[in-house]
């Protein structure tokens, strides 16, 4: 193998985020060797569980003591990464797609996730991996990148530039809608059956969703976050209602976005009209749009992305590209699949 | 024909609201004779255009001078009813499913609909037909009932009781989502093709939707209304973010709703959980639920209904029942069709 | 209670077929008392599991020794009815929606269902309940009616008249497609998740589906039956490729159907065009259409219905109507819900 | 521009097949310059019509006299290519995605397409571009490649190897189902609205579909072809019922396929189970599977692909790769997008 190529391991390769990382890495020119683990399918070809991936890759078991790769993608449930990170980091670099290292304040985990943080003092500190809003050099040096989630990425890309520019004058209300792949693949409960969900939509988690503290941590102000379940597989549509400071309009919003995202390959600011979530399907793009209602002083922001790409696996690969000095768009140039 | 039975005419019987009125009236025990008109299918059996209706009814042309029935349902585009109402009302009673008589202030039509009102001084005055919130006796005596639309019905049923009870402390933000049948059947534009819409959702009309003034007229306070298009045929999901007066919670919201809707056959207040739009599919129900977020002082209200039933044809039949002294639920007892 | 009204019990009231029987019976004028059982929700309101049913009905446990009603609908998995039928029939009449009494030859159960028949000699014999093709007087007198399934009903309504009239000249190939509600509500397996099924379709059971022997029993000739799973909740579309005897065309097919179904309220023969499954959604109708291909001598028959209504609960109510001397369409007059 | 890179032009760049060719070529490393034409959007950025394509490409008008590129993809309606091919071929090489040059016998066009062929004697002769079954060297030298359609590709990849090996013993019945993007983007008719199609399926074209003669031309025996419309955007599922010669089973089918497709990068033979159309979504793959029913002597073949990729644009790019000596998989390595 060309020594300039990476060896990568995807832990949890048959779930929706894990198999999406595999999908992207199979076509990534800087990956020289790729492996994936599974709890229940060890020794079986990945394509048995994931027949859309035309590969002969055979699933392995996960043994943190024997990992010998350049980068590991952790695509397991919350609570897994915090148990294995310390030993893994002795041997490799890590992109964690769970929530385990997203909150800087460990005391928030019992409140929002229901368990104590098993690894509150990881050293060196995890780096929050939202490249368009963070410090790319810091991501480049990180040992462990905490990859933000889909709702949070959509919300922050719309709100943080406005917050930094001082445009916001009140509590942002994030009315967010998600395709059902966000619930994961192993969650075979009645409520996620096609027959239950097809042809309808509903709200959930209105009492308080665990993505709220993550948004507030990165945004620096309180928000009201309400999620909904849409009857299709992929896509986040965040509609954000935000009071603007007097005298501002949607053109100020777009100008602020344009300044922030000038040269950013994965964020598109729409000058007119509103995007469908499908524009981003299969791609690493986030599309932003805004309208201002003079009658109420509210701006309505729209932010759409594919929850499994820019909201998970694509952003993870983007972080990997930064960690290893590759071009930021390497392996991520696919356009949306439409219709 | 039993003289106690009604003769009814549906004008525009092959569109989505018109055919839905026909569907309900075909099974209504107090209807003795039913006719329907069409512009382009005169003389053809209705079932050619609407094969889901197992009826031999043949489509007629519309001649307002020769109408000889007890009640007419006008299911045409905006602008039609205002042209024909005066002559029709000399001969019959009318339920108008368009927006033509919903706004009491005729000067709002040029602003929001783009045309002058052709009949600003109709006498006797039209009655706004939202039975749960209006005066049923007044509907009972009306010559012309202006049947409210789907978004508006969903929004008002949630908000008006709170407004009347003085619970609201700020601008309600109505983040509304609609199935695509709301766009009508004749709107054969690319943007409404299945291939364009399937598997995605988007916002529209954010610059200012024409349902805004209707909501504000009936509610008595300004709102921010933002609609979205969902990738299925039927259903409205209104998520309403509303600041409550200090000290109040979602239990106060539900108590206010319960008081308002005690005995109302078509409104259900959910004590816990949040409804899917599918619960109301094919039925005349509106389901309400609420959550309170103490961190921000916002209540999140959810209101779901079938846009073609409680949001159009079902409510029209409910108004007809009141106009002719039938039981309010006559012909409207169907439960939701699930899955 | 009016003594002319029935007392009915639905065993398994929260599944898709059971809740559909409840939905129909709640609106049936000859039902005076309705109860439903559940295994895991005893004592809970049915609307908690089935919020689309606006009823206060509380779920009961099933005790065959204490059943005291006029008719029982058994809506449980295969194997349940054969265990309980003998005792139940001492106390009441039964419509069984499972496969337990559909096959006349008990020796077929181990082959196709994997278990021995627990009750091979039920007396009096079960009556196969497909009213349009059977003997209505016999159904009227039956103690236990074996309600045919969705695929079988769609296939037989198209084929049996042609077989009886001697039109068929070879093996019918039944290429059948079903909405996913046919898999049932408790089957919370990954493969039935919306995220897995949405936007795609697939074949299954091609090695030999258990509906094959039932079709052959009633048709009297071998068939090739292949099922597919469609990405929506309700609907059967059977496309049947059948060699016709020389000289015949689709007009002969339609004439034969018309003769058979003259006066049948639930079967529609389309003279031209081909029906969507949606035409039958929520209704008890089966729609038939045919085309003939002179080049190959094959007729293509299309048969569509709602698998939960004419393919299950609606047909069960139709059988109940016959068993108790009600009008055959009582409680079954709903038209299709479209769009 | 690197002189080894191609200049490509897509004629009809905003339709579903045209925009899909653009999508693939934007990411193709051997394309140095890309242009696209439109009839009604000349001078407008492509992303206005196709916002899923993150490109600054501006739409041009089509002038066959001024074309100056290495390859042209014709993505217009039937009848367009036959008018322009002679002049175009003087200046460039062509891949035609319409049906204009698929049938070798021009006399079939009036019968199946309703118009005379405008260019029956094109010289040099068009080459039929189904690489897995044709002569790749011939495609490599072609001036004009007639790119086969979606139904035909799915059918032929399953049937031709069996025909060549002498396994077939009767008329193959092709029961084919297609996503609605096959109807094209400009076909804004009521019947293709989401509200009409969502949640249902139907057959069409049963009197005789124009793909029949193309299949028969390439297969060399008569078939019965019946298409259906599925309620999603992308995907072909061909279920083919074919009588096998005595003594053969599905294992013989698979062995024949394996022999034919050994080394073929885009055809997968499933050893067990049946594929969903989603496995191929967005990829250039065709997946084949087979089952044998000893009771009837019929094999059931399943062939799935993405109608816009292997059934149109992807196959066109595959043909271009062969025409210009690139690797056959260049620009076509994407895996399926799931869920």
CATH code assigned at D17: 3.40.50.720
Report the domain count for chain C: 2
CATH number of the CATH domain containing D221: 3.30.360.10
Q: How many CB atoms within 10 Å of residue A20?
A: 32
Q: Is A3 helix (H, G, I), strand (E, B) or coil?
A: coil
Whether residue C256 contacts residue C310, with contact meaning beta carbons closer than 8 Å, is answered with no
Contacts of A189 in chain C (CB under 8 A): 188
Domain contains D339: no
User: What does the block give as tokens for D212?
Assistant: 């029949």
Closest-CA distance, C293 to chain D, in angstroms, reads: 7
Q: Is the peptide bond before B82 cis (omega within 30 degrees of 0)?
A: no
Domain match, A20 and A122 both: yes
Closest-CA distance, A17 to chain C, in angstroms, reads: 13
Contacts of A197 in chain D (CB under 8 A): none
Contact A194 C197 (CB under 8 A): yes
Q: What is the DSSP string of D41-104?
A: -TTSBHHHH-TTS----B-B---TTT--SSEEEE-S-TTSHHHHHHHHHHHSEEEE-SSTTT-S
Domain match, A214 and A251 both: yes
Q: How confident is the model at residue D3 (pLDDT cuts 50, 70, 90)?
A: confident
Domain match, C171 and C303 both: yes
Contact B52 C336 (CB under 8 A): yes
- Model pLDDT for residues D210-259, shown as the tens digit of each residue: 899 999 999 999 999 999 999 999 999 999 999 999 999 999 999 999 99
Domain match, D51 and D67 both: yes
User: What does the block give as tokens for C254?
Assistant: 């339609």
**Average confidence score pLDDT of chain B:** 96
Whether residue A242 contacts residue A301, with contact meaning beta carbons closer than 8 Å, is answered with yes
Closest-CA distance, D303 to chain B, in angstroms, reads: 22
Q: How much is the pTM?
A: 0.97
Domain contains A335: no
List % helix, strand, coil for chain C (3-state, nearest 5).
30, 20, 45
In the sheet with C144-146, reading across from the earlier edge strand, the strands are: C31-36, C6-11, C71-74, C93-96, C144-146, C127-128
Domain match, B221 and B112 both: no
Q: Which of A177, A223, A300 sits opposite B201 (nearest CB)?
A: A177
Domain contains A315: yes
Contacts of D54 in chain A (CB under 8 A): 268, 283, 285, 335-336
Q: How many CB atoms within 10 Å of residue A184?
A: 15
Cα distance between residue D131 and residue C330, in whole Å:
60
Q: What is the DSSP string of A65-100?
A: TT--SSEEEE-S-TTHHHHHHHHHHHH-EEEE-SST
User: Cα A139 to the chain's mean position, in Å?
Assistant: 15
Contact A339 B230 (CB under 8 A): no
User: What does the block give as tokens for B263?
Assistant: 């005995």
Touching subunits for chain B (3+ Cβ pairs under 8 A): A, C, D
Contact B198 D233 (CB under 8 A): yes
Domain match, C138 and C167 both: no
Q: Which of B16, B188, B194 sits opposite D197 (nearest CB)?
A: B194
Query: How high is the pLDDT of residue A208?
Result: 78
Domain match, A25 and A144 both: yes
Domain match, D94 and D158 both: no
Domain contains A24: yes
Contacts of A200 in chain C (CB under 8 A): none
Full pLDDT tens readout for chain C, 339 residues: 788 899 999 999 999 999 999 999 999 999 999 999 999 999 999 999 999 999 999 999 999 999 999 999 999 999 999 999 999 999 999 999 999 999 999 999 999 999 999 999 999 999 999 999 999 999 999 999 999 999 999 999 999 999 999 999 999 999 999 999 999 998 778 999 999 999 999 999 887 788 999 999 999 999 999 999 999 999 999 999 999 999 999 999 999 999 999 999 999 999 999 999 999 999 999 999 999 999 999 999 999 999 999 999 999 999 999 999 999 999 999 999 999
Domain contains C331: no
Contacts of A281 in chain B (CB under 8 A): 199-200
- The residue of chain D with its CA nearest to that of B184 is D195
Q: Which residues of B are catalytically annotated?
A: 150
Could you identify the residue written with the tokens 């103690």?
Answer: C143
Contact A198 C198 (CB under 8 A): yes
Contact C278 D173 (CB under 8 A): no
Residue D150 a catalytic site member? yes
Domain contains D287: yes
Domain match, B195 and B302 both: yes
- Model pLDDT for residues B251-307, shown as the tens digit of each residue: 999 999 999 999 999 999 999 999 999 999 999 999 999 999 999 999 999 999 999
Domain contains D329: no
Domain match, B285 and B159 both: yes
Cα distance between residue B222 and residue B168, in whole Å:
12
- Model pLDDT for residues C268-279, shown as the tens digit of each residue: 999 999 999 999
Please enumerate residues of D whose Cβ is less than 8 A from a Cβ of A: 16, 19, 23, 26-27, 50-55, 181, 185, 198-199, 233-234, 268, 270, 273, 275-276, 278-283, 285, 287, 333-339
Domain contains C338: no
The Cα-based distances of D190 to B21, B244, D231, D271 in angstroms read 20, 45, 14, 42
Contact C200 D295 (CB under 8 A): no
Angle (CA) B176-B178-B184 rounded to 5° is: 135
Q: Which domain holds residue B69?
A: 6-148+311-323
Domain match, B209 and B290 both: yes
Residues contacting C183, CB < 8 A, separation 6+:
A195, C192, C229
DSSP structural state of residue D232: S
Domain match, A266 and A197 both: yes
Whether residue D195 contacts residue B181, with contact meaning beta carbons closer than 8 Å, is answered with yes
- The residue of chain A with its CA nearest to that of C181 is A195
- Which stretches within chain B are classed as H helix? 16-26, 46-49, 80-91, 108-112, 136-141, 150-164, 194-197, 211-219, 250-261, 314-323
Q: Which residue, among C195, C230, C306, would best test binding to A if mutated, counting the most A CBs under 10 Å from its CB?
A: C195
């Amino acid at each position: 193998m060309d020594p300039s190529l990476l060896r990568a391991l995807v832990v949890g390769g048959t779930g929706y985020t894990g198999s999406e990382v595999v999908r992207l890495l199979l076509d990534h020119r800087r990956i020289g060797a790729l492996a994936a683990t599974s709890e229940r399918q060890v020794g079986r070809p990945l394509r048995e569980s994931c027949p859309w991936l035309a590969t002969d890759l055979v699933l392995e078991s996960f043994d943190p003591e024997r990992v010998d790769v350049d980068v590991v993608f952790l695509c397991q449930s919350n609570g897994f990464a915090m148990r294995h990170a310390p030993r893994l980091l002795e041997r490799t670099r890590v992109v964690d797609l769970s929530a385990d290292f997203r909150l800087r304040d460990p005391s928030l985990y019992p409140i929002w996730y229901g368990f104590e943080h098993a690894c509150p003092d990881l050293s060196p500190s995890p780096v929050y991996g939202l490249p368009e809003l963070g410090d790319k050099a810091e991501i480049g040096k990180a040992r462990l990148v905490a990859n933000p989630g889909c709702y949070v990425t959509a919300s922050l890309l719309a709100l943080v530039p406005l917050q930094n520019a001082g445009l916001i004058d009140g509590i942002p209300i994030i009315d967010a809608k998600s395709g059902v792949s966000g619930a994961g693949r192993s969650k075979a409960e009645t409520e996620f059956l096609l027959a239950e969900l097809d042809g309808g939509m509903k709200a959930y988690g209105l009492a308080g969703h665990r993505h709220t503290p993550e948004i507030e941590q990165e945004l620096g102000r309180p928000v009201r976050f309400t999620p909904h379940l849409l009857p299709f597989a992929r896509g986040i549509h965040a509609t954000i209602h935000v009071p603007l400071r007097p005298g501002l309009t949607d053109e100020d919003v777009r100008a602020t976005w344009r300044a922030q995202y000038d040269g950013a390959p994965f964020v598109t600011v729409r000058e007119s009209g509103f995007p469908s979530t499908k524009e981003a399907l299969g791609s690493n793009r986030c599309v932003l749009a805004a309208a201002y209602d003079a009658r109420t002083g509210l701006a309505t922001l729209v932010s759409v992305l594919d929850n499994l790409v820019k909201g998970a696996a694509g952003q993870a690969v983007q972080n990997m590209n930064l960690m290893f000095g590759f071009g930021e768009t390497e392996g991520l140039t696919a356009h949306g699949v439409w219709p």
